[in-house]
Amino acid sequence: MTGWGLFLAALATFLLSHMIPARPAVRGWLIDALGRTGYFVAYSLVSLAVLVWLIIAAANAPFVEVIPPLSLLRWAPLLIMPVACWLAIAGLSIRNPLSFGGLGHRPFDPDSPGILRTTRHPILVALMLWAIAHLLANGSLSHVILFGLFAGFAAMGMALIDRRTARLLGPEWQRLSRNTARLSLHAPRPWPRLWVWLATIAACAVLLQVHEAVIGLSPLP
């Protein structure tokens, strides 16, 4: 399988690998079977592997220009990806009963929601920013489809998760979410700890180093 067929197969696999574990019954079963930490580690590794496959498939799909390759747009990933990495790592660093949970050991405190004061969905916002940055820098039809769907998937996911969580939590939703926002410009309270910032720097450095080897294209303008 090559060309558009491989791209569509990779895209379907990626969407299913995120939609199926998001179902409460499936997610609960996986956490019971693997443990909370094991679930998030396995989920992250599988998601990363499928994502790499999908990006490679998009790069090898037939080229059809949609957005002109302007040199200015090549800066978008370099400017936006540090923010996306920081949001993803900050989101994984705490417990999150309102969206995709993190690896933090401390119980969630609605009076000190941390990054959830900025967004209840830091991982989905990170995905949306990643998609927007790469859509601007890669204007072929396959990449516009790929990153446009990612951005739309993330935005729609935030609304769906809010509605589902509010229904499941009932009156508890108001107490837990009162100092949070779906997406805002409010600063985290408290700010993520130092190791989150250091991990973000390290993640960005690794991405810059491996991007060309894995994707086949340098991220530098």
Domain ranges of the chain: 1-62, 65-221
DSSP code per residue over 3-32: HHHHHHHHHHHHHHHHHHHHSHHHHHHHHH
C-beta contacts of 22-27 below 8 A and 24+ residues apart: 22/157, 22/161, 24/164, 24/168
Calculate the average pLDDT of the chain: 89
State percent of the chain over pLDDT 90: 52
pLDDT above 60: residue 103: yes
Per-residue confidence (pLDDT) for residue 2, from 0 to 100 = 65
Residue with tokens 């997610």: 27
Per-residue confidence (pLDDT) for residue 1, from 0 to 100 = 56
4: left (phi over 0), alpha (psi -120 to 50) or beta: alpha
At 105, the amino acid letter reads: H
Span between the terminal Cα atoms of the chain, in Å = 32
Mean pLDDT of 108-118: 94
Q: Are 134 and 77 in contact (CB under 8 A)?
A: yes
pLDDT single digits (tens) 138-194: 889 999 998 998 899 899 999 999 999 999 999 999 999 999 999 999 999 999 999
pLDDT single digits (tens) 16-61: 887 777 777 878 888 888 888 888 888 888 888 888 888 888 888 8
Report in angstroms the alpha-carbon separations of 171 from 21, 138, 178.
25, 45, 11
DSSP code per residue over 56-111: HHHHTSPP-BSS---GGGGGHHHHHHHHHHHHHHHHHTS--TTSS--S--SPP-TT
**Nearest CA among 86, 98, 97 for reference residue 191:** 86
Chain CA centroid to CA 211, Å: 17
**Nearest CA among 118, 161, 184, 206 for reference residue 18:** 161
Which of 46-60, 119-133, 191-205 bottoms out in mean pLDDT, i.e. has the lowest? 46-60
DSSP state of 140: B
pTM of the model: 0.81
Per-residue confidence (pLDDT) for residue 217, from 0 to 100 = 78
